[in-house]
Structure 1
């Protein structure tokens, strides 16, 4: 029997696998992580490993509630932001529902929606869920708070929900966030992965209407946030203010990287975050292969529907220089 089952979404951040496969110390620009994350000491009591985590994550939610001035009943947590996308969709889109996304954007929205049997619609005015990635991945475009509120009003006007994915907003401009807005037609997703450069921790969190959050917490697999991730998160939330230094560094290095990429004949889309979408004017897959020969990994954006584009992270000045040198060698 033929079943229209979707294929997995392609992601960046393949550095670990590529290093293991090749034995080379590849420089990974395909993962868009904070190049200057806050550094702090943190520990996980080994005794925690002999007990199951508190599946309600009461202490963790209380900490998040203090930081963002929200009620604990409005907070959900998960094993990375993708788990919360999946669980959210399973709760909200069960049955014959519809979803709306723009293109290009993060592919997990569509995949998670399709896994529920939901159907895409080109109309946010009728969609059960409208997904908005802010800043957008892979373009780096940052929507203002006013623009996001306008999207929210469209969703709420017909009883839909705006799903605002703010995984990168702490590295762009937090004043554009909707995290302080409370409404049954709004869900805001956050992540520590990008801001603190800890993809191995796997920790995401979200804010929504208490009734919706209760359903998400019920549908989420039990104990999905492990003791190490919880311990890191509890400490990390005390260092969010230090991300101001990260944002200033990213602005400076992003502009420098953009200029240098332009000088070698490639065009960068305007970006407000720690990555650049680069129009290479040639087959992205071939260019990625050529860059690998220079021990550089970048994100092939063919899976975003952009076959002549790559996405590159903004890293340290020294690392960015190596990227530009490799790009120049490949495109000359």
Structure 2
């Protein structure tokens, strides 16, 4: 199994539970797990589109509805040939509601039926069902689309503020990005100090990016609070 270089640990844990062995190269894997865009970087997971015809590919699109720039790694026709996973709780600001859905490849009906048989008899709570039902409504889709313009403006301001304060910001196409404080800064001490001001940054060490933080794009008031804490 091939996983993104920087990713949540859940993927590797699940693979281990199924007895799958991780490999570095997509060409050497029977199963390729890709994210588009990926967390924590907000970038496309690279190196995997070339194995579409030769490997089973699962595309995690949890952050796809929140793409603010760039283009998907696969065309719509290519996406029809892979397994796609979506969890709209992030786009709807309901991250505590754990509900998702999968779209099978167009020619994978037997595999989809086998997967359905493996599923537990009660896979979602009523709140998850309600979220997925409303996600499919035109009104919800229109609201998300309008929100992207707001997020783009907030992101530009947030990145500019951090760069003016000496931070290094990694490129990102999503509503989050990775940033590193100025050189010479004690990162661990900074996180502790900010926590004392009621601000928590996501340390990305567990993602394989020590010294960086993952920041969600937030309203200007939140950025002002971060800047005030940094100055203090």
The answer to whether TM tops 0.5 is: yes
Cα deviation for residue 173 of structure 1 reads 5.4
Cα deviation for residue 327 of structure 1 reads 3.0
Say if 2:162 is the partner of 1:257. no
Cα deviation for residue 103 of structure 1 reads 1.4
* Structure 1 gap ranges (5+): 1-98
Number of residue pairs matched?
222
Say if 2:232 is the partner of 1:325. no
Q: For the structure 1 residues 214 and 178, does the alpha-carbon distance in structure 2 shift closer, same or farther, using more than 3 Å as the test?
A: farther
What is aligned with 1:37? Answer: none
Q: For the structure 1 residues 307 and 221, does the alpha-carbon distance in structure 2 shift closer, same or farther, using more than 3 Å as the test?
A: same
Superposed CA deviations along residues 132-156 of structure 1, whole A, max 9, x for unmatched, are 111111111147xxx7xx8344142
* Structure 2 gap ranges (5+): none
Say if 2:143 is the partner of 1:217. no
Cα deviation for residue 112 of structure 1 reads 1.1
Cα deviation for residue 243 of structure 1 reads 1.3
Once residues 89 and 199 of structure 2 are traced to their aligned partners in structure 1, the CA distance between those partners, rounded to angstroms, is 22
Contact map agreement 1:100 1:121 (CA 8 A) in 2: yes
Once residues 320 and 251 of structure 1 are traced to their aligned partners in structure 2, the CA distance between those partners, rounded to angstroms, is 14
Which of the numbers 220, 231, 235 marks the counterpart of 2:134?
Answer: 235
Cα deviation for residue 130 of structure 1 reads 1.1
Contact map agreement 1:283 1:307 (CA 8 A) in 2: no
Say if 2:94 is the partner of 1:198. yes
Say if 2:176 is the partner of 1:279. no
Cα deviation for residue 170 of structure 1 reads 0.5
What is aligned with 1:67? Answer: none
Contact map agreement 1:268 1:279 (CA 8 A) in 2: yes
What is aligned with 1:133? Answer: 35
Once residues 173 and 212 of structure 1 are traced to their aligned partners in structure 2, the CA distance between those partners, rounded to angstroms, is 33
Once residues 267 and 227 of structure 1 are traced to their aligned partners in structure 2, the CA distance between those partners, rounded to angstroms, is 43
